[in-house]
Structure 1
Amino acid sequence: MSVEARLADLGIALPDVAAPVASYVPAVRSGAYVYTSGQLPFVDGALPEAGKVGAGVTPEAATGYARQCALNALAAVKALVGSLDDVARIVKVVGFVASDPSFTGQPGVVNGASNVLGEIFGDAGVHARSAVGVAVLPLDSPVEVELVVELKA
């Protein structure tokens, strides 16, 4: 089954590629790998919520935002290479969670990204990962996610 067909079966429509908010590009290819820039959870060009997880932003909402970040990253990959069917595997996910100092559930939040990648790519979506709590993210986003993707030969 193609990745596009799998997305349709899951009822997932990839968004348009989010416009960079500074001086960078959404994704870069180097050899067989694509590295995405950190993706914020933009929906129709806007953040759905701002603030810190554990202080205003719930962990449940942040998990959904991490999922959106992963979809935004996949949109950047697709725009660069033409088709997600060219993806051999998701190699690494790095998730940043803007956290209240008392919040320690960053891995659960970043599961939003990991889980949707597994749903879309199956075994090829299993990846290495980091989930990092930070004081603040661009535009006061609660979550940011970047991917490393290996392409088929």
Structure 2
Amino acid sequence: MATPEERIAALGMSVPEVVPPVAAYVPAVRTGDHVYVSGQLPMVAGELAGTGKLGAEVTLERGKELASTCALNAIAALRAEVGELSLVNRIVKIVGFVASDPSFHNQPQVLNGASELVGEVFGDAGVHARSAVGVAALPLDAPVEVELVAEAARSE
């Protein structure tokens, strides 16, 4: 059975470096068996991959891609906290924020980009609860932000 890292590679991706925080927080915190990953923006190589609001400057399809990028960054923060992704027992919850034009109501479809990537990477352990929230603005004018909660075993 393939490891999460092998599944990421099979998707033609790699786990990026952890995105440095843009304010006073840390990328992830572990308490007991749970890891809380801070909200991740769609950063690629230190740059925001897009700006604007869904339903205005950003299309649904592009928003979904950016949500996937956020999820990959969340996976990077998770791996940095637990050591290796095979120690993740379950992705418990994903919360996504979508900067939305007032007429935009497809936040769940945008967040499918994150949920689908997590499902491909973690298989059954990637089945999770989720919230998709439309907001007026996000940090750095990002279109989407994703945070997650995972349950993970301790490394030996």
TM-score (norm 2): 0.95
Task: Give the letter aligned to residue 116 of structure 1.
Answer: L
1:56 aligned counterpart, secondary structure = coil
2:146 aligned counterpart, secondary structure = strand
The reply on whether 1:24 has 2:21 as its aligned counterpart is no
The reply on whether 1:150 has 2:151 as its aligned counterpart is yes
2:47 aligned counterpart, secondary structure = coil
Superposition pairs of residues 96-115 of structure 1, within 5 angstroms: 96-115=97-116
2:39 aligned counterpart, secondary structure = coil
1:14 Cα deviation after fit:
1.0
Equivalent-residue separation in structure 2 for 1:30 and 1:113 (angstroms): 24
Q: Which runs of 5+ in 2 are unaligned?
A: none
Superposition pairs of residues 4-153 of structure 1, within 5 angstroms: 4-152=5-153
Per-residue CA shift, 1:24-83, capped at 9, x if unaligned?
A: 000000100000000000011111111111011111101000000000001001111110
1:8 Cα deviation after fit:
1.8
Question: Do 2:34 and 2:150's aligned partners in 1 also have CA atoms closer than 8 Å?
Answer: yes
Q: Which runs of 5+ in 1 are unaligned?
A: none
Task: Give the letter aligned to residue 23 of structure 1.
Answer: A
2:96 aligned counterpart, secondary structure = strand
Equivalent-residue separation in structure 2 for 1:124 and 1:86 (angstroms): 11
Task: Give the letter aligned to residue 12 of structure 1.
Answer: M
Equivalent-residue separation in structure 1 for 2:13 and 2:121 (angstroms): 9
Equivalent-residue separation in structure 2 for 1:52 and 1:10 (angstroms): 28
| Cα RMSD for the two superposed structures | 0.9
Count residues in correspondence. 153
1:92 aligned counterpart, secondary structure = strand
1:9 Cα deviation after fit:
1.9
TM-score (norm 1): 0.97
Equivalent-residue separation in structure 2 for 1:19 and 1:116 (angstroms): 22
Task: Give the letter aligned to residue 148 of structure 2.
Answer: L
Equivalent-residue separation in structure 2 for 1:83 and 1:144 (angstroms): 23
Task: Give the letter aligned to residue 17 of structure 1.
Answer: V
Give % identity: 63
1:10 Cα deviation after fit:
2.0
Question: Do 2:5 and 2:121's aligned partners in 1 also have CA atoms closer than 8 Å?
Answer: no
